[in-house]
Structure 1
Amino acid sequence: MTFAAQILTLYPEMFPGPLGISLAGRALADGRWSCSPIQIRDFAEDKHKSVDDTPAGGGAGMVLRADVLARAVDHALEAQPNAPLLAMTPRGRPLSQTRVRDLAAGPGVSILCGRFEGFDQRLFDARPIEEVSIGDYVLSGGEIGAFALLDACIRLLPGVMGAASSGEEESFEDGLLEYPHYTRPQIWEGRTIPEVLRSGDHAKIAAWRKAKAEEITRSRRPDLWERHRGVPDRSPSGARRETKED
C-alpha cells in the first residue's frame, strides 16, 4: 500500500523538495509513498485569485479566507476520504512519535499549510481538521512543518529503513531520549569508546544503554522523565519540584 501525501499550500513548487532525496527520495522513487501538492490559490474565485483578507477587528497582517480554504479542503477530503487532514499551526497539539507512528500506519495524510497571520477560525469549526505543532516557535509558513511531519512518517514505512528494528530504539519510542552512540576509531583525540560497548556482553550493554537513556532524559528533558516515571521527580539541579502535595 502506498502512503499518499497531499499538501495544500500556496507554494506547491516546494514539494517534494528535501523529501526527494536520501531515504524519503528513494522511497518516493520506489512508490512507497506519493506526493501530491495542491495549489490553494486554484480554489479562489475572483479574478485576482485572492486567498486572504484583513483581520476582523483590526490588526497587522492578513488572514487566510475560510471560503477559499474550504473548497481546497473539500477537494482533498474527496480525493482521500480515509486520510486524516492536519493543519500545521503553532497553536496545535505538539506532534509526538506516537502520533507519527499512527499516521505512518495509515493510508496517508493531507496537510494544510498556512501563511500570513493564519486561518479563519470558522474553517476549523466547519471541517474535520487536526491542528498540529512541531514546536514552540513561529515559522513563515506551514511547509517546513509539513516536511518534518512527512519525513517522520516516511522513514517508518515498511522497507524505507534498512533493518526492521532501526526505529525501535530511538528517542521517544519508549518515552526516553536515546542513549549515546559510538563507532570506530576506538580512540579519538584521547577519548575511548566505553569499555562496556567493547565487552561483547549484550546484557551489560543493554543495561548501560538504558541507564544512559534515563540519565540523559532526566537531565535534558525533565518533562519526559516525569511522564516516563509517572511521578514528579527532581529537577536536573537536584532540587525537588514543588507539587500540590508539598
Structure 2
Amino acid sequence: MRIDVLTLFPNMFSGVFNESILKRAQEIGSVQYNVVNFREYANNKHNTVDDYPYGGGAGMVLKPEPIFNAVESIKEDTKSTPRVILLCPQGERYTQKKAEELAKEAHLLFICGHYEGYDERIREHLVTDEISIGDFVLTGGELGAMVVIDSVVRLLPGVLGNEESPVQDSFSTGLLEHPHYTRPAEFRGMKVPDVLLSGNHKLIDEWRRKQSLKRTYERRPDLLQSFNLTDQDKKWLEEIKKERSLF
C-alpha cells in the first residue's frame, strides 16, 4: 500500500511513521509513506495556501489551487487513482468497518486541513471520502490522519505478525473484546480466572465469548442491536442480564 499525506506540518509525522508498528510495516515493505507539504504547490510568490472566505465570516479558508496541484502531481507520478480522504468534523464517523475497507486499497491519500475549513470545490471535485474520528474539533487534520493510518496499516498482511490479532480486536467481531490475563496467576491477592488455567480450550472459548457479550452489554449495548446473535449467545445474554439484575 502507498499512503500520501498532504499537510502544512510534515514534521508531525516523522515520529509517528518511524516508531512501532507503522515503522515495522514500512520496513517489511507492506506500506510506503509519502508526506507532502502542499504549501509547495501554491501558485504565488508568497506560497499562500489560505484566504478570507467570500461573504465574510471568521477565520481563513484553504485555497483550492495548492491542494488540487498536489493531488494531481501525485496521481501523475504514481499513475494511479487513490482514495482521497479528507479529515473533517463533517465527515462520516470513523469505524473499524471503514478501516477494514480502506485496508483493501492499494493507494490512500489524506488531506489534512487547518484554519476555518476547505474551499468547497476540494470536497466536490477531489475527495472520495470524508472522515471524522469523533464529535469534537481539533486544530488540524494531522492527528485524525494519524489515527486512521494506524488503524489501517495494522490490518495489512504480516504487519502484526500474528494474523489472528486484528481479527479478534474489539469491533472487528462486532463485540468488544474479552478480558486478558498473563503471568503471574496471582498478583496481590488478585487471581486469574480458573477456566483460563484449565487447558480446556472449549471452555476457554466459551468463557471468552460470554465475557465479550457481557462487556458489550455493559459498555456498548448499541452494538448488540445490529449484531447477529447465535442461539447460545442469546442464552448467555439472558444469564448476563439476570446476573446484573441481582445487584
TM over 0.5: yes
Residue 2 of structure 2: SS of its match in structure 1? strand
Q: Distance in 2 between matches of 1:222 and 1:189?
A: 32
- Cα distance, 1:142 vs structure 2: 0.8
AA at the equivalent of 2:183: R
Q: Distance in 2 between matches of 1:21 and 1:212?
A: 33
Q: What corresponds to 1:42 in structure 2?
A: 40
Contact persistence 1:88–1:112 (CA under 8 A): yes
Deviations 1:165-208 (A, max 9, x none): 12111101111111110001111121111111111111111111
Q: Distance in 2 between matches of 1:229 and 1:221?
A: 15
CA RMSD of aligned residues (A): 2.1
- Cα distance, 1:31 vs structure 2: 2.4
Q: Distance in 1 between matches of 2:153 and 2:59?
A: 34
Contact persistence 1:179–1:209 (CA under 8 A): yes
Q: Distance in 2 between matches of 1:105 and 1:182?
A: 32
- 2:178 matched to 1:176? no
Q: Please, what TM-score do these two structures have when normalized by structure 1?
A: 0.87
| Cα gap change, 1:57 to 1:223, in 2 (>3 Å) | farther
Q: Distance in 2 between matches of 1:124 and 1:77?
A: 17
Residue 124 of structure 1: SS of its match in structure 2? helix
- 2:117 matched to 1:118? yes
- 2:182 matched to 1:211? no
Q: Percent identity?
A: 39
> Structure 1 stretches of 5 or more lacking a match?
240-246
Q: Please, what TM-score do these two structures have when normalized by structure 2?
A: 0.87
Matches within 5 A, 1:156-195: 156-195=155-194
- Cα distance, 1:50 vs structure 2: 0.8
Contact persistence 1:89–1:131 (CA under 8 A): yes
Q: What corresponds to 1:17 in structure 2?
A: 15
Normalized per residue, which structure has more helix? 2
4+ runs deviating over 6 angstroms: none
Deviations 1:73-130 (A, max 9, x none): 2223334423211011111112221221222222131100011112111211122431
Matches within 5 A, 1:46-125: 46-80=44-78, 81-125=80-124
AA at the equivalent of 2:71: V
